[in-house]
């Protein structure tokens, strides 16, 4: 009797492990399929321009080939878009006071508007839109999707904060020096009076990732228009939740990174039970 029990138990475990391996292989094939499609799209996409200068390639969500999808499954996608270039002069060298003024203005101006939107929503009914409440992100979302679109705007998606600090350097220096040293000091716990800490900002990004993941349950495609540092840490949190990068857009203005996640019928049922439990 014991021998029969252990034999059946061993067979059951083999079936479970085999099913898990097959699902993992299917997910990896799906990711590769989407990666290939986004690369092909990039290879053929036209550029949008601002003042005659190429800014970003046209982009839209792509769908995987059906033969890569298990039966009764669906694919969710999240696009993390960095805002466009702020409409500010940032060349030359800056004094301490000028750098402080730049940081303040950076958080209050719009963007340089390209000739047409680069991100195209082909089916707006299945897309949820989010943006930071910072003007440069709001201006980017308005440029991309229009003022009439329903876009959730919240400070939860604002950029990681920074200040120049009080230690004056009595010389004119490149703006990159001021902004980079301000960010490094803040990450080290210095020069953060009146603003959130690095750990608090990372926790905010983690919660932001949960917001986007939850939104994708009802809308299989989600777009966030936000900021470089915030998007980077939201991406890390999403990857920990099982999301996979299918398009890495880099860090420049309008950089767009897309992540995907596949849901099987069993996973969707489990999520439904969890959401309806008291």
2-18 pLDDT, tens digit each: 565 556 555 555 444 44
Q: Which of 266, 214, 213 is nearest to 235 (CA)?
A: 213
pLDDT at residue 2, as a whole number: 57
**What confidence tier does 123 reach under pLDDT thresholds 50, 70, 90?**
confident
Distance CA 47, CA 42 (A): 10
Over residues 58-72, mean pLDDT:
83
**What confidence tier does 19 reach under pLDDT thresholds 50, 70, 90?**
very low
Over residues 264-274, mean pLDDT:
51
Which residue, chain included where needed, has tokens 């101006």? 109
In a domain, 8, yes or no: yes
Q: Quote the tokens at residue 24.
A: 């993992």
Q: Would the pLDDT of 274 be above 50?
A: no
Looking at per-residue pLDDT, the higher value among 21 and 168 belongs to: 168
Range of weakest confidence among 1-5, 77-81, 108-112, 132-136: 1-5
Distance CA 187, CA 172 (A): 24
Distance CA 90, CA 79 (A): 28
In a domain, 205, yes or no: yes
In a domain, 147, yes or no: yes
Over residues 105-121, mean pLDDT:
95
Distance CA 270, CA 240 (A): 19
User: Tens digit of pLDDT for each residue in 175-231?
Assistant: 999 999 999 999 998 877 889 999 999 999 999 999 999 999 999 999 999 999 999
Other Cβ atoms less than 10 A from the Cβ of 220: the count is 19
User: What is residue 111's three-state secondary structure?
Assistant: strand
**What confidence tier does 165 reach under pLDDT thresholds 50, 70, 90?**
confident
**What confidence tier does 276 reach under pLDDT thresholds 50, 70, 90?**
very low
Ranges of beta strands (E only) in 58-179 are 74-82, 93-94, 127-132, 152-154, 173-174
Q: Quote the tokens at residue 214.
A: 């939850």
pLDDT at residue 118, as a whole number: 97
Domain count, the chain: 1
Q: Cβ contacts of residue 197 below 8 Å, gap of 6+?
A: 189
- Chain-wide mean pLDDT for the chain? 87
Which residue, chain included where needed, has tokens 């029969």? 4
pLDDT at residue 30, as a whole number: 81
User: What is residue 129's three-state secondary structure?
Assistant: strand
Which domain does 269 fall in, by range?
2-87+119-157+199-276
Distance CA 260, CA 137 (A): 23
In a domain, 260, yes or no: yes
Distance CA 217, CA 272 (A): 10
pLDDT at residue 64, as a whole number: 86
By the 10 Å C-beta count (0-12 exposed, 13-18 middle, 19+ buried), 194 is classed as: exposed
**Pairing label, strands 221-226, 256-263:** unpaired
In a domain, 261, yes or no: yes
Q: Cβ contacts of residue 48 below 8 Å, gap of 6+?
A: 54, 55, 56, 57, 58, 114, 115, 116, 117, 118
Distance CA 271, CA 53 (A): 46
In a domain, 166, yes or no: no
Q: Annotate 79-103 with DSSP letters as a single string.
A: EEEE---BSS---SEE-HHHHHHHH
User: How many residues would you count in the chain?
Assistant: 278
Q: Would the pLDDT of 98 be above 80?
A: yes
pTM of the model: 0.86
Distance CA 65, CA 129 (A): 25
User: Tens digit of pLDDT for each residue in 133-163?
Assistant: 999 999 999 999 998 899 999 999 999 998 8
Over residues 99-119, mean pLDDT:
94
Helix, strand, coil percentages (3-state) for the chain, rounded to 5, are 50, 20, 35
In a domain, 187, yes or no: no
In a domain, 76, yes or no: yes
């Amino acid at each position: 009797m014991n021998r029969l029990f252990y034999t059946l138990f061993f067979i059951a475990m083999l079936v479970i492990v085999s099913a898990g391996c097959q699902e993992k292989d299917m997910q990896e094939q799906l990711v590769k399929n989407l990666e290939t499609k986004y690369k092909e799209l990039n290879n053929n996409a036209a550029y949008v321009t601002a003042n005659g200068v190429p800014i970003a390639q046209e982009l839209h969500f792509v769908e995987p080939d059906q033969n890569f999808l298990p039966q009764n499954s669906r694919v969710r996608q999240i696009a993390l878009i960095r805002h466009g270039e702020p409409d500010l002069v940032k060349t030359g060298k800056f004094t301490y006071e000028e750098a402080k003024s730049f940081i303040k203005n950076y958080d209050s101006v719009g963007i340089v508007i390209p000739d047409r939107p680069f991100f195209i929503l082909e089916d707006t009914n299945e897309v949820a839109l989010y943006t930071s409440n910072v003007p440069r992100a709001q201006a980017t979302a308005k440029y991309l999707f229009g003022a009439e679109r329903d876009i959730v705007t919240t400070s939860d998606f604002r950029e990681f904060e920074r200040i120049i600090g009080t230690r004056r350097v009595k010389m004119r220096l490149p703006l990159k020096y001021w902004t980079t040293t301000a960010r490094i000091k803040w990450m080290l716990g210095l020069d953060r009076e009146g603003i959130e800490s690095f750990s608090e900002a990372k926790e905010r990004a983690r919660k932001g990732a949960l917001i986007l993941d939850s939104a994708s349950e009802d809308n299989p495609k989600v777009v966030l228009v936000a900021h470089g540092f915030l998007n980077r840490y939201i991406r890390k949190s999403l990857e920990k939740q099982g999301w996979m990068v299918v398009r890495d857009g880099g860090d420049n203005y309008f950089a767009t990174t897309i992540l995907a996640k596949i849901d099987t019928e069993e996973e969707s049922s489990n999520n439904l039970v969890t959401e309806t439990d008291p």
